[in-house]
């Protein structure tokens, strides 16, 4: 799954934001720096999906995502928010754990299984609480690696047009 190929550079802890727009803007900016994508394209994609309905899945977790024709491999990031923010989640709980996914439209068939696997992983109370208590990217990686469901990742690939390794 996505998690196995997440690197420390894709993890942000204690991100302070003023709300959903602020959080998505900051996350999009970091993804753009890491991936070589245009920040406005990433942000527009995330907001377009968010306008269809909140990506807050409950229990303080959100999985904002967007599909793009311009990428050939998926990209993921993890952000721990402090303090939690309103994300319009169905359960009304504020969100403090955000997994952001950018997906190639050409691989749309693999998106829902990957999203479902991520949702099952973070449904585990031990994983959620560990991510909330993590104080370093290393700790986040160790928590995610401790669950066997996190070990089924797709391989890392290098984007030919940018030379950026996508996850």
Question: Any idea which residues carry the catalytic annotation?
Answer: 65
Query: What is the Cα–Cα distance from 17 to 60, expressed in whole angstroms?
Result: 15
Q: Other CB atoms closer than 10 Å to residue 131's CB: what's the count? A: 22
Half-sphere exposure of 163 (CA within 13 A, CB side): 0
CB 3 within 8 A of CB 121: yes
| Residue count (the chain) | 167
Q: Other CB atoms closer than 10 Å to residue 9's CB: what's the count? A: 12
State residue 29 phi and psi, 5-degree precision. Answer: -65, -40
């Amino acid at each position: 799954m996505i998690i196995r190929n997440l690197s420390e550079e894709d993890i942000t802890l204690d991100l302070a934001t003023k709300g959903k727009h602020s959080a998505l803007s900051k996350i999009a900016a970091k993804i753009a720096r890491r991936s070589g994508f245009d920040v406005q394209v990433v942000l527009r994609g995330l907001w377009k999906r968010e306008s269809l309905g909140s990506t807050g899945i409950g229990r303080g977790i959100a999985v904002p995502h967007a599909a793009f024709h311009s990428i050939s491999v998926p990209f993921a990031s993890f952000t721990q928010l402090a303090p939690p923010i309103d994300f319009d989640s169905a359960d009304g709980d504020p969100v403090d754990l955000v997994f952001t996914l950018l997906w190639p439209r050409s691989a749309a068939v693999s998106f829902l299984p990957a999203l479902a696997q991520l949702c099952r992983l973070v449904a585990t109370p031990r994983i959620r609480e560990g991510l909330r208590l993590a104080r370093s990217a290393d700790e986040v990686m160790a928590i995610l690696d401790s669950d066997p469901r996190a070990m089924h990742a797709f391989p890392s690939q290098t984007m030919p047009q940018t030379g950026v390794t996508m996850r």
